């Protein structure tokens, strides 16, 4: 798996070099880099510090251009690290790593997406550390206020699903996404991996409500993740529009990692937070509460009620 990941990175670099040599009048090429940092308090003296970096290349066909080539191509490579101040397991492991690779191609009404990611002490060391998706979708409906795509895919991952004492890591699934928008409401429901729902009330107003939910596992109701917030766009009536927003909300988050001995550590916690989003930079700070710590599928302790903060910055190169 490690060799496969590095091969994908080489393909990314080769593809970037090849398309960058083509005439620019037919296509626009963009390189987007994203930097992130998060600090989460999990104990009285225990913290998780998580820096991350993501590099994405996008090639988009110019409007009105007739060409047999894809309408858009996107390739992204990401790396993240989590440092646990008190360590995990008997060996007190402090550093954990995450790697990801994503590629998508859109042509007319057809879309293809492939993604592979791994997070753990040694990424790609075992199937329990890997999440992968291979999807195809076809756009059936596209209007000014409605869209519907249908397709199929293959999902790989540790979903804590067991049938007759056999762990299930692979399964095929139908894929769909339906979205609708109006002056007072917009929303979407999708099955592209785990089911997900998104909702926005009064999307064109200074104040709006945003909500989303998904499924991170099947252990308990705590695996139902969500993020609900009241958002204010103070400059919506100016030329800045929605480029600046301030929000307050509540969320449920689940994050997992796997050590070399295949032991899985999971943190689940609820948080109340405040956020400032200025398009190219987002700052979120909050307080987590009523959380649980899991080892494999068992609850081993309550999570400490503490603080968290995150910063994400995006650059267009």
Mind listing the pLDDT tens digit for each residue in 25-84?
678 889 999 999 999 998 888 999 999 999 999 998 877 667 778 889 999 999 999 999
- Joined together, the tokens standing for residue 36 give 């992130």
Assess if residue 184 is contained within a domain: no
- Structure confidence at residue 217 (pLDDT): 76
Assess if residue 182 is contained within a domain: no
Could you tell me if 287 and 271 are in contact, meaning their C-beta atoms sit under 8 angstroms apart? yes
The β-bridge partners of 317 are none
- Structure confidence at residue 230 (pLDDT): 97
Residue 271 has pLDDT above 90, yes or no: yes
Could you tell me if 12 and 274 are in contact, meaning their C-beta atoms sit under 8 angstroms apart? no
Residue span of the structural domain in which 152 resides: 129-177
- Structure confidence at residue 296 (pLDDT): 86
pTM of the shown model = 0.82
- Structure confidence at residue 150 (pLDDT): 95
Q: Are residues 81 and 200 in the same domain?
A: no
- 13 falls in which pLDDT band (50, 70, 90)? low
Q: Are residues 39 and 62 in the same domain?
A: yes
Assess if residue 35 is contained within a domain: yes
Place of tokens 């695996």: 223
Question: In total, how many domains does the chain have?
Answer: 3
Could you tell me if 153 and 133 are in contact, meaning their C-beta atoms sit under 8 angstroms apart? yes
- Joined together, the tokens standing for residue 61 give 């066909």
Q: Which residue has the higher pLDDT, 210 or 70?
A: 210
Q: Are residues 44 and 146 in the same domain?
A: no
Place of tokens 């037919």: 26
Residue 257 has pLDDT above 60, yes or no: yes
Assess if residue 223 is contained within a domain: yes
Q: Are residues 161 and 270 in the same domain?
A: no
Q: Are residues 263 and 299 in the same domain?
A: yes
Could you tell me if 116 and 104 are in contact, meaning their C-beta atoms sit under 8 angstroms apart? no
Domain boundary (109, 125, 141) is at 125
Q: What is the pLDDT of residues 225-237, one digit of tens each?
A: 999 999 999 998 8
Could you tell me if 39 and 285 are in contact, meaning their C-beta atoms sit under 8 angstroms apart? no
Q: Are residues 148 and 81 in the same domain?
A: no
Place of tokens 């969500």: 226
Residue 204 has pLDDT above 60, yes or no: yes
- Structure confidence at residue 11 (pLDDT): 47
Q: Are residues 208 and 314 in the same domain?
A: yes
Place of tokens 């059936």: 140
Distance CA 299, CA 187 (A): 34
Distance CA 123, CA 134 (A): 19
- Structure confidence at residue 146 (pLDDT): 95
Assess if residue 189 is contained within a domain: no
Q: Are residues 101 and 144 in the same domain?
A: no
Residue 16 has pLDDT above 60, yes or no: no
Q: Are residues 7 and 107 in the same domain?
A: yes
Assess if residue 52 is contained within a domain: yes
Domain boundary (125, 144, 169) is at 125
Q: Are residues 26 and 72 in the same domain?
A: yes
- Structure confidence at residue 14 (pLDDT): 52
Nearest to 169 by CA among 157, 181, 183: 157
Q: Are residues 139 and 117 in the same domain?
A: no
Assess if residue 188 is contained within a domain: no
The fraction of the chain above a pLDDT of 90, given in percent, is: 56
SS3 category, 7: helix
Q: Are residues 1 and 115 in the same domain?
A: yes
- Joined together, the tokens standing for residue 299 give 């609850």
Distance CA 231, CA 207 (A): 6
- Supply the mean pLDDT for the chain: 87
Residue 257: count of CB within 10 angstroms of its CB: 21
- Structure confidence at residue 281 (pLDDT): 96
Could you tell me if 212 and 199 are in contact, meaning their C-beta atoms sit under 8 angstroms apart? yes
Domain boundary (177, 208, 239) is at 177
- Structure confidence at residue 67 (pLDDT): 72
């Amino acid at each position: 798996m490690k060799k496969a990941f590095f091969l994908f990175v080489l393909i990314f670099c080769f593809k970037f070099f090849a398309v960058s040599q083509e005439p620019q009048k037919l296509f626009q090429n963009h390189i987007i880099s994203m930097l992130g940092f998060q600090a989460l308090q999990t104990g009285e003296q225990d913290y998780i510090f998580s820096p991350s970096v993501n590099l994405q290349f996008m090639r988009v066909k110019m409007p009105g251009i007739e060409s047999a080539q894809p309408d858009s191509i996107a390739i992204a490579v990401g790396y993240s690290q989590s440092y646990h101040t008190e360590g995990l397991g008997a060996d007190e492991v402090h550093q954990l790593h995450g790697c990801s690779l994503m590629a998508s191609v859109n042509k007319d009404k057809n879309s293809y997406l492939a993604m592979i990611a791994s997070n753990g002490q040694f990424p790609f060391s075992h199937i329990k550390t890997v999440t992968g998706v291979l999807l195809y979708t076809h756009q059936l409906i596209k209007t000014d206020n409605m869209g519907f795509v249908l397709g199929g895919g293959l999902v790989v991952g540790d979903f804590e699903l067991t049938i007759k004492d056999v762990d299930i890591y692979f399964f095929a699934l139908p894929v769909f996404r339906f979205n609708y928008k109006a002056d007072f409401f917009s929303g979407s429901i999708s099955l592209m991996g785990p089911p997900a729902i998104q909702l926005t009330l009064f999307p064109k107003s200074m104040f709006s409500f945003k909500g989303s939910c998904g499924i991170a596992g099947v252990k308990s109701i705590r695996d139902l993740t969500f993020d609900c917030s009241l958002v204010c766009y103070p400059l919506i009536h100016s030329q800045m529009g929605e480029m600046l927003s301030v929000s307050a909300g509540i969320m449920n988050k689940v994050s997992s990692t796997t050590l070399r001995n295949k032991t899985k550590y999971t943190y689940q916690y609820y948080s109340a937070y405040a956020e400032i989003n200025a398009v190219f930079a987002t700052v979120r700070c909050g307080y987590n509460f009523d959380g649980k710590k899991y080892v494999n599928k068992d609850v081993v302790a309550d999570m400490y009620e503490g603080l968290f903060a995150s910063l994400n910055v995006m650059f267009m190169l």
